[in-house]
Amino acid sequence: MPKFVIQEHFAEKAGHHYDLRLEMDGVAKSWALRYLPQRRGEKRLAIQTEDHTVEYMDFEGIIPAGYGKGRVLIWDKGEYELLEREEGKIKFRLKGSKLRGDFVLIRFPKVKNGWLLIRL
């Protein structure tokens, strides 16, 4: 089963946010969010960022320089089940220690690289 991680990032430029990473297509597909949806029906803007290596999903520590400079902590991790994937839509079930349940990412074209993360 593929892995997921949510890294809490205290970035110098971007500020405090969370990075959702889903192991997919041999890489960690990544989205940055200010807040995580906690209740059913909640929607949060997620900005897709560059893909990372799958190994990066285990990273905790300090990014010393450049974009992303700051502290990174693993907020939650586990496995996920891909329920549906089509152009502009990724539906999945998280099986973490903090976040469990169904979510969907839907492309949000009004914002560059924008997606909505919705808790189902």
pLDDT in tens, the chain (120 residues): 999 999 999 998 889 999 999 999 999 999 999 999 999 999 999 999 999 999 999 999 999 988 789 999 999 999 999 999 999 999 999 999 999 999 999 999 999 999 999 999
Using alpha carbons, select from 115, 118, 110 the residue that is nearest to residue 83. 118
What single-letter DSSP state applies at residue 120? -
Position 96 scores a pLDDT of 97
| CA 4 – CA 105 distance, rounded (Å) | 14
Q: Name the one residue in this structure whose structure tokens are 């949510």.
A: 6
Phi–psi pair at 110, nearest 5 degrees: -70, -15
For residue 108, give Cα distances in angstroms to 50, 53, 89, 105, 115.
17, 25, 10, 9, 5
Position 61 scores a pLDDT of 95
Position 19 scores a pLDDT of 97
Position 67 scores a pLDDT of 74
Position 68 scores a pLDDT of 84
Residue 107's contacts (CB-CB under 8 Å, 6 or more residues apart) are: 88, 89, 114, 115
Task: Classify residue 20 as exposed, middle or buried by CB count within 10 Å of its CB (0-12, 13-18, 19+).
Answer: buried
Using alpha carbons, select from 36, 29, 42 the residue that is nearest to residue 8. 36
